[in-house]
């Protein structure tokens, strides 16, 4: 199959399940795409390519044995570099944590890996996730994949660029005041800030904090639902956790959606790009 990195998550999963594609081929394709594009885009702070290939080969062996594939079996994904990943450097975009390697995954990451997803690397973020642009002393600025003169947004800009440019089909982000939604809109991906507690976060410092949430970045709504389905589920250690079964999330299939757009020429504070205004006939 030519250029597997171009596939959406659901399309790749279907090809994997049919035996038309191997997890190793898919991960190799994503790593090659990263090699080709990330020197300029600077989406990743840390890669774990060798580990990802080992896990991909193990996934292929499991399929070959006749074992039923897990929901995200063999799908590459990336994790914003403010979220703990066991055995993979997590810097929070700061020199203070340049050598920090967590011993355990954040719960939602552990769930993705349990579902068969394969971690490829840690996308860029402003230091400690605070800032509208994805740049810090370690990496960046992360450039917009459609126009290198424009921002990728923040603070999950690295995750949005990794998905938009084909480096991975799925990426995790976090959202406080738009940190998933803003880069998703800048980079043309689906960005979902979930209802607090839908993706439990038992390790957050303040148990009742509903302001910061985990989020999903993907190339389609169906892909976002697929990723989200593996991350949600009740967790007693999070008092905000919802009792919702991820299997209840189903693909849209042939459902017709009529998109609606809201437009402002100045956002109430300053004029937006002339090119954007022109597209809307302003």
Q: What is the DSSP letter of 42?
A: -
Sheet with 170-175, side-by-side order of all strands? 44-47, 118-123, 76-79, 170-175, 213-218, 190-193
Strand 213-218 to strand 190-193: parallel, antiparallel, or no bridges (unpaired)?
antiparallel
Task: Identify the active-site residue in 94, 179, 229, 241.
Answer: 179
Task: Identify the active-site residue in 29, 59, 80, 241.
Answer: 80
Task: Identify the active-site residue in 155, 159, 229, 241.
Answer: 155
155 is catalytic: yes
For residue 10, the number of C-alpha atoms closer than 13 Å in the C-beta half-sphere is 15
CA angle 123, 223, 18 (to 5 degrees): 110
Question: Which residues have CB under 8 Å from 13's CB, separation 6+?
Answer: 72, 73, 74, 75, 226
80 is catalytic: yes
For residue 24, the number of C-alpha atoms closer than 13 Å in the C-beta half-sphere is 9
Return the active site residues.
80, 155, 179
């Amino acid at each position: 199959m030519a250029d597997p990195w171009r596939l959406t998550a659901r399309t790749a999963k279907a090809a994997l399940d049919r035996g038309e594609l191997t997890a190793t081929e898919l991960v190799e394709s994503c790593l090659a795409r990263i090699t080709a594009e990330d020197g300029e885009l600077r989406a990743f702070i840390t890669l774990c390519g060798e580990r990802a290939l080992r896990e991909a080969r193990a996934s292929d062996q499991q399929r070959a044995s006749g074992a039923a594939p897990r929901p995200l079996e063999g799908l590459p994904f990336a994790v914003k570099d403010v979220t703990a990943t066991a055995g993979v450097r997590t810097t929070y975009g700061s020199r203070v944590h340049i050598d920090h390697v967590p011993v355990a995954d954040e719960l939602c990451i552990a769930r993705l890996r349990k579902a068969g997803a394969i971690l490829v690397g840690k996308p860029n973020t402003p230091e400690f996730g605070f800032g509208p642009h994805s740049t810090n002393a370690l990496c960046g600025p992360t450039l917009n994949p459609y126009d290198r003169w424009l921002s990728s947004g923040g603070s999950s800009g690295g995750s949005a660029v990794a998905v938009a440019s084909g480096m991975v089909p799925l990426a995790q982000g976090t959202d406080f005041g738009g940190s998933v939604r803003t880069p998703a809109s800048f980079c043309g991906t689906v960005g979902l800030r979930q209802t607090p507690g839908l993706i439990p976060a038992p390790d957050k410092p303040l148990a009742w904090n509903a302001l910061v949430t985990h989020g999903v970045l993907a190339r389609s709504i169906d892909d976002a639902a697929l990723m989200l389905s593996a991350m949600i589920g009740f967790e007693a250690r999070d008092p905000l956790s919802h009792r919702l079964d991820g299997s209840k999330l189903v693909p849209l299939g042939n459902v017709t959606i009529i998109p609606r757009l809201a437009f402002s020429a100045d956002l109430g504070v300053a004029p937006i790009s002339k090119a954007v205004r022109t597209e809307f006939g302003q």
